[in-house]
Structure 1
Amino acid sequence: MIRKLCIIGVGLIGGSAARRARRFCEEIVGIDADPENLRRAETLGVIDQGCASLERGVAAADFVLIATPVGAIEPLFRALAPLWRPDCIYTDVGSTKGNVVEAALRVFGIVPPNFIPGHPIAGAERSGVEAADARLFEGKRVILTPLPESAPDALARVEAFWMHLGARVERMDVGHHDEVLAATSHLPHVLAFTLARMLGRKDEQAEIFRYAAGGFRDFTRIASSDPKMWLDICRANRGPLLELLGEYETALREVAGLVRSDDADGLYACFSEARAAREKFLKSTENNHA
């Protein structure tokens, strides 16, 4: 049981956590840079109380969930530093972890033992507290990236928190997390944004979009995500993302060469290999949910 849960950033992720956490929290308070968003969160019953003051919001909290964009993490750590308490558990939901750890080191000199970096692999194109869904984390993975200095009891409590939200918790090294997520999440988002932007700039865009079928809709779905959030993610995970963009550029040139030379065998082999990789992914997903 959590006596007072403080959620900093009451958007899709923070709001969804709040909705489900009602089952095991006596009180849920929210802090958000947008006063109107806080009012909506209260009106919708997502939180019990919205706090404009960080000091008031975290006072007496025994669990703090940081659900702000990754670009805001260092200023938030600086604001939290004089309020940080050893008897409280802190965790975050950022899509990148290296920058979070580096920010903690710059602010605190160490990563506080009662701070456990985390990342729920869950989300939606919609953002804001109105999109909050109590079932968002059911069956989803949450990756925690504890460090050698992390307190075992803090890690256990953060694991239990996410498990109570219906998630499946895994642990991963910080650097490995950022490499994996660059490939499976950050690169696909950049590609979707780029394709949607490229086609949207064409003179005949109205006609292009009129005749776009399910494939276009599926591929560009994630281009409806929050641009500010993805700006922060791309900047935070710049190294791994640039490496993958270089590999993708090489792969595109290879396919362009096959099309240019009308290499039917080469194209068929390329598409077959891709299909096999996709089927392997789907089978792995099915087995993990079995």
Structure 2
Amino acid sequence: MEKFFIPKLAVVGVGLIGGSLALALKAAEAVGEVIGIGRGLANLEKALELGVVDRITRNPAEGVSEADLVFLATPVMALPQVAAEVLPHMKRGAVLTDGGSVKEAVVRAIEPLLPEGIHFVPGHPIAGTERSGADAAFASLYQGRRCILTPTEKTSSGALELVRQVWETAGSDVVEMPVDKHDRILAAISHLPHMVAYSLVNAVSSYDRYEENILEYSAGGFRDFTRIASSDPVMWRDIAMTNREALLEMMDHFESFFAELKEDILSGDGSRLFEFFQRSKKNRDAIL
């Protein structure tokens, strides 16, 4: 079987997500040249210095012109604009894919822009840390993680297989699902936890019963739980705005359970509290 190989990969947005994919493919010797594209010169130069990419440019048209695969790794709300900039300059037969955490809005915006002969495969690697920028990238980020692809009726089977091989080469377990299912699942398992973490940090930091900042007393539990509140605010603003319907549905669902817990505490019902915590522990342990 011929070894999987991409002669030229263009990464638009060389941060944790885009940079880590480039490093993973480099480590697997599955890519030739990696072109890093972005607006921030300092970040691009850092990516070049660290060997994340082989060439850099702030000109998207120039960067994608020879690429066989173009990976968009920008905040979600920037994806349609970036796609509009690069698609007219991609060579015939090239494939465009993305790593956006919201799929329905992205697909709806990008598919009408596709020129003849250019293929689009919507994707989302479910991996990340709270860090950002080229120096946050590392080759093993996607090892053992899932990557969801959300092909549509317009998605080429050949392009879909190419992108599947990309993520499998990076170490991911690749699954496919419809865009609406993706957005509702991610609202539950990713987007809601981030909203809760951001809200908790704001609530505790604004607690004014005492003059001192009580965050200074936070220990492992609080820090572990709220780690994701250190994530990029631009990225999470975009996710909240583009996956609004699914996220609001999940927030309403969460509020009903929080209200149940609050009522159990208010009534002092120890058996109901135990049952609530026991049920949660059982479900959480089942993940492991």
Would you say same fold, with TM above 0.5? yes
Pairwise CA distance, 1:211: 2.8
Q: 52, 58, 67: which one pairs with 1:52?
A: 58
Instruction: Choose which of 170, 173, 195 in structure 1 pairs with 2:200.
Output: 195
Partner of 2:180 in structure 1? 175
List alignment gaps of at least 5 residues for structure 1: 283-290
Using the TM superposition, give the Cα deviation of residue 266 of structure 1 relative to its aligned residue in structure 2, in angstroms.
1.2
Residue of structure 1 in register with 2:160 after alignment: 155
1:25 to 2:31 alignment: yes
Kindly indicate whether the alpha-carbon contact (under 8 Å) linking 1:4 and 1:28 is maintained by their aligned counterparts in 2: yes
- Cα distance in 2 between the residues matched to 1:89 and 1:157: 8
In the TM superposition, residue 85 of structure 1 has moved relative to its aligned partner by 3.5
Question: How many residues are paired up?
Answer: 281
2:92 aligned with 1:67: no
Distance in 1 between the 2:214 and 2:174 partners? 42
Could you list the per-position Cα deviations for residues 144-164 of structure 1 after superposition, in whole angstroms to 9, with x for gaps in the alignment?
A: 001122111101100111111
Q: 2:8–2:32: 8 Å Cα contact kept in structure 1?
A: yes
**Over residues 167-216 of structure 1, what are the superposed CA-to-partner deviations in whole Å (9 max), with x where a residue is unaligned?**
11111111000000000000000000000011111234845223322221
Counterparts of 1:108 and 1:29, CA distance in 2: 21
The equivalent residue for 1:229 is 235
CA contact (8 A) 1:6 1:58 kept: yes
One-letter identity of the residue aligned with 1:209: L
Q: Secondary structure at the match of 1:135?
A: coil
- Check conservation: 2:90, 2:118, Cα contact below 8 A: no
Question: Counterparts of 2:286 and 2:197 in 1: how far apart (Å)?
Answer: 22
Counting only pairs closer than 5 Å after superposition, residues 17-166 of structure 1 correspond to structure 2 as: 17-22=21-26, 23-108=29-114, 114-166=119-171
User: Contact 2:131–2:231 (CA<8 Å) still a contact in 1?
Assistant: yes
Aligned-partner residue type, residue 158 of structure 1: V
Q: 1:216 aligns with which of 209, 219, 222?
A: 222
1:213-265 Cα shifts (integer Å, max 9, x gaps): 22211211111111111101111110010011111122212111111111111
TM value normalised by structure 2: 0.93
**Residue matched to 2:19:** 15
Q: CA 1:74 to 1:207, structure 2 compared with 1: closer, same or farther past 3 Å?
A: closer
- Per-residue CA distance 1:113-151 (angstroms, 9 max, x = gap): 711000001100111111110111111111100112211
Deviates further, 14-23 or 155-164 = 14-23
Secondary structure, aligned partner of 1:137: coil
Corresponding residue of 1:278: 284
Q: In the superposition, relative to structure 1, how do residues 267 and 148 fare at CA in structure 2: closer, same or farther (>3 Å)?
A: same
Q: Cα distance, 1:86 vs. partner? A: 3.2
What is residue 247 of structure 1 aligned with on the other side? 253
How big is the alpha-carbon RMSD for the aligned residues of Structure 1 and Structure 2? 1.7
Partner Cα separation in structure 2 for residue 206 and residue 118 of structure 1: 45
Q: 1:77·1:103 contact (CA, 8 Å) conserved in 2?
A: no
Amino acid at match of 2:38: D
Structure-1-length-normalised TM-score: 0.92
Q: 1:4 aligns with which of 4, 8, 19?
A: 8
Percent identity between the aligned chains?
42
What is the rounded CA distance, in whole Å, between the counterparts of 2:81 and 2:240 in structure 1?
Answer: 18
The one-letter code of the counterpart of 1:185 is: S
Q: Distance in 2 between matches of 1:153 and 1:205?
A: 62
Does the CA-based 8 Å contact 2:103-2:183 persist in structure 1?
yes
Q: Distance in 1 between matches of 2:63 and 2:7?
A: 13
Q: Give the deviation of 1:74 after TM superposition.
A: 1.3
Partner of 1:286: none
Contact 2:95-2:118 within 8 A present in 1 as well: no
